[in-house]
A = this chain, B = another copy of it.
Amino acid sequence: MKINGKAYRTIWVNEDQWSVTVIDQTKLPHEFETLRIASADDAARAIKDMIVRGAPLIGATAAYGLCMALREDASDAALEAAYAMLAETRPTAINLKWALDAMVDAVKPLPARERVAAAYARAAKICDDDVEICRRIGVQGVGLIRAIADKKSGGVVNVLTHCNAGWLACVDWGTALAPIYMAHDEGIKIHVWVDETRPRNQGASLTAFELGRHGVAHTIIPDNAGGHLMQHGQVDMCIVGTDRTTARGDVANKIGTYLKALAAHDNGVPFYVALPYTTIDWTLDDGVAEIPIEQRSAREVTHMTGRTDKGAIETIEISAPGSGAANYGFDVTPARLVTGLITERGVTPATREGLLSLYPEHKNAG
């Protein structure tokens, strides 16, 4: 994606060829700042504090974190310690674990002196693969949007999305937003309803920022508004991302996704989930019962940061002082509410059979 005319990925290796730089997503949309990550600790902090977020980008950042840990100490013990530290930074997104496992698989068989180079090569491949996977998700998903545009005889296609599953959540392109970018680029009239996505407002701050830079028409709405819009025919389809998808197609995504899926179901609006294969957890079935849901600080709910009219960045308390708050990061949308899964290999019903038809190599998993 281009920011101010310059092409960016969300993470890249610096000229020193070992440290990496990321975009500080906690500063968006008001400031575009980058942050250098120079150790596994830095990487863990960046993930925990949500300087980087989005399942694929978390995986890529953790992969480079492991590279830097090995650079300091390439022993098995150091590898295991770094793995454990990075794996616990965010409990819900499964491709954090996937990326770390891929790294271990690549370096563990090697003698210590070969591990660092192999690790950097594997991390680079994780990033390159993610870009290609997201591009393919876009190619698969744009057909769904095109079909609606055709049915509406070229009328505007209104898509609702929740949170940010765009290029900022990945290395480039995005998952849920990839089909939207491609539809826009091929001239389909498209308008996106952007759920602001409290408490951290990734929709209003990141998705709106992305869509605006790419010139895609969009409108920010409170998370409360989607049901009303669907009742009144203002939403043609929903597309969201996922942080973990079970073998039968339940999806854990940003808190509030389930409510939109219920409204879509109640109003006959197609509800699609876009995902790379790396977010599928073949070991789980029942997402509500089995996927661990991260709980975060109450302060993310009771306080907000933004820019005053004078340009200063301020943090304010927005709720009654003394009242506590709960902050669950994700909820689970049961497969029965999902119209289809858009993966890099194709679009399929959210069922075990559907997923296995695309990933037959997992027939004996779970």
Contact = CB atoms under 8 A, between A and B. Distances in A.
A226 B321 CA distance: 22
A305 interface: yes
A112 interface: no
Interface string A254-296: 1110111011001000000000000000000000100001000
A318 interface: yes
Contacts of A258: 227-228, 231, 263
Nearest to A331: B228
Q: What's the number of copies of this chain in the assembled complex?
A: 2
Interface string A175-197: 00000000000000000011011
A194 B323 contact: yes
Interface centre among A212, A293, A320 (most CB of B within 10 A): A320
A317 interface: yes
A198 interface: yes
Interface of chain A: mostly helix, strand, loop or mixed: mixed
A70 interface: no
A236 interface: no
Contacts of A231: 258, 288, 331-332
A30 B319 CA distance: 8
8 contacts: A29-B321, A208-B319, A212-B322, A223-B256, A224-B331, A228-B331, A231-B331, A262-B262
Given A196-B198, A198-B222, A224-B331, 20 more contacts: A29-B319, A198-B198, A205-B319, A208-B323, A211-B323, A219-B326, A220-B323, A222-B223, A222-B327, A223-B224, A223-B256, A224-B256, A225-B328, A226-B259, A227-B258, A227-B262, A231-B258, A232-B288, A258-B263, A303-B306
